[in-house]
Structure 1
Amino acid sequence: YAMTGWRVGWLVAPEPVAKAAAKLQGHMTSNVANVPQRAAIAAVGGDLDAVYAMREAFDVRRKAIVAALNAIDGVHCPTPTGAFYAFADVSGLLNRPLGANGSVATSSAELAAMLLDEAHVAAVPGEAFGAPGYLRFSYALADDQLAEGMRRFQAWVG
């Protein structure tokens, strides 16, 4: 339903799994706020035509970002199977001069900072997920913004 950031969800599972998940969730998070709850109720109770349209639009973006990332020398990105993110292996970009300044990143955290500062492209370093050498890119944005970001990334790498 494209409610990114609102953290609304539900679980369908065998009862022992659901009980275990409820215990874990109860100790890790607080309750969902009223506005996201009402939005989720409206979403799941409404017409699904918008969902099908969004699914198609996100599939187009998913394919576009994967193709663009894989076209960059030193980057490998498998096709994501869920969410709104591409998780690319950028280890081939580490320890080599990049951008007009010839900056060298030794970690994906440094690479993400350089990419933001020099090419104005935002990415989350893999270190945040226990996966050094990777960058996470969102494709929950307009098609033209996605294309421009990937164009900037590719031009920055050279």
Structure 2
Amino acid sequence: MKKILLFVIVFIVGLGAGAAGIIFMEPSMLSHTPPPVIESVPFNPQTAVPITETGIQSNLAGNTHYVSFDLEFEVMPAALKSAGGTATASSGSTGTGSALLDAKIRNQLIALARSTPYSEFTSSGGITVFKDQVSTILQSIFGPGSVSDVYFSNLLTQ
């Protein structure tokens, strides 16, 4: 009986310590709000903002081959703003206008490249498959339908 009572006391104290740790050490766990739902913004080429991400480099899956590319696409201003970007059609600069958003895009594209085998690039239609995967990543960041076709202004694999 004493062992059961001791076990219950230790369990209750552990449970209380865990709850206190969550409340006082990481209060954001209790008030976590989900990321905002990105609504679809219909693409309109007359108002779209051109974005250029340059110098994206990574090893491919297997670490024996390498890819380097520059990426160009257009995004709707409302979708760009909701994702944290500030670039405008008249800004004439590369990137989204937000270092954080540019880093997010680059990190996701590098992760994609690291998971793509070299044989996919060299297979028939491999670049098209990679381009579709890049487009899917951009759609997940800016919202479905808010990004134009993706173009590689520079693409090198070795």
| TM exceeding 0.5 | no
Kindly indicate whether structure 1 or structure 2 has the higher relative contact order, using CA contacts under 8 Å at least 6 residues apart: 2
Q: Which has the higher helix share?
A: 1
Higher-Rg member (1/2): 2
TM-score by length of 2: 0.26
Q: Which has the higher strand share?
A: 2
